[in-house]
Amino acid sequence: MNTTHYKQKNILHFLAEIIGSASGRSSDVGLPVWLQQLAALLGVIALSPLLLTVYVLIKWESAGPVVFKQVRVGKHGRTFTLYKFRSMYMANDARYVDPATLASDRDGVCKKYFQDPRITRVGKFIRKYSIDELPQLWNVVRGDMVLVGPRPALPSEVAEYDFKAKRRLQVRPGLTGLWQVSGRADTTFEQQIALDSKYVAEKSLWMDLKILLLTLPAVVSAKGAY
């Protein structure tokens, strides 16, 4: 393992543990994890026809793996492999555009591109309605994530977090969350951190249920999805 990466990973873990201890509040309040895992497993089974259809469409449109895997940061800085349906052209595809040549439409650590030329036609649709995120139901089943929580960030993003932003690491990352039902990419990075911090501080069974109920309308409206 790369020594620098190992040190960064341990520093993230150490800082998150300090923040978690300082809060004096359990991160296990809210919907029981086992219930969320069961719901995610049932979701995988129920949505299997849709998942198979998306699999075929992605395979048909462009070359490359159908499922995109990426390392993300979870609770207390622990890293895990996140799964998504691939929505972009591969780097060896003639239609691929190097993101280094693109200007982010959002300030802050987490970059967003409202008109990203790397996205495929199928990718544009599945991203609009968050279908590309459905493979993360398996992350929930595995225990890497839960249904409700802050979105998991990249290690490179977490490495730039200030003390306030690191509060996101006190809880498991989620498939949906307060940020998702409050505008998603239409919010600034500072607003996202504020929403995630609010969730961490006020997390409860009722808040989790409320966010789940608000998720479907947010997904159907496609507000803030790019």
Question: Which residues in 107-132 are b (16+ Cβ under 10 Å) and which e?
Answer: ebbbebbeebebbbebbebbbeebbb
pLDDT above 90 covers a percentage of the chain that reads 59
CB atoms within 10 A of CB 224: 16
The pLDDT score that the predictor gives to residue 220 is: 84
Quickly list H helices, 47-135: 48-61, 121-128
The pLDDT score that the predictor gives to residue 12 is: 53
What band does 225 get if pLDDT is binned at 50, 70 and 90?
low
* Least confidently predicted of 14-28, 80-94, 163-177, 201-215: 14-28
Distance of CA 35 to CAs 39, 171, 200, 205, 209, Å?
Answer: 6, 16, 19, 12, 12
Contact indicator for 188, 196 with CB cutoff of 8 Å = no
The pLDDT score that the predictor gives to residue 156 is: 92
Q: Which residue's structure tokens are 């809060």?
A: 23
Q: Which residue has the higher pLDDT, 46 or 101?
A: 46
What are the pLDDT digits (tens) for 41-57? 999 999 999 999 999 99
Q: Which residue has the higher pLDDT, 22 or 97?
A: 97
CA–CA gap between residue 218 and residue 90 (Å, rounded): 29
CA–CA gap between residue 172 and residue 162 (Å, rounded): 19
Angle at 141 between CA 173 and CA 43, to 5 degrees: 100
The pLDDT score that the predictor gives to residue 97 is: 75
Q: Which residue has the higher pLDDT, 117 or 17?
A: 117
Contact indicator for 84, 68 with CB cutoff of 8 Å = yes
Cα end-to-end span (Å), the chain = 35
Provide the 3-class DSSP secondary structure of residue 67.
strand
CA–CA gap between residue 204 and residue 68 (Å, rounded): 32
What band does 24 get if pLDDT is binned at 50, 70 and 90?
very low
The token pair at 215 is 């998720």
Residues forming beta bridges with residue 215, ordered by sequence position: none
CA–CA gap between residue 205 and residue 29 (Å, rounded): 7
The pLDDT score that the predictor gives to residue 98 is: 73
The pLDDT score that the predictor gives to residue 114 is: 64
The pLDDT score that the predictor gives to residue 104 is: 59
The pLDDT score that the predictor gives to residue 19 is: 47
* Element of type H or E holding 79: strand 79-85
pLDDT at 61 over 60: yes
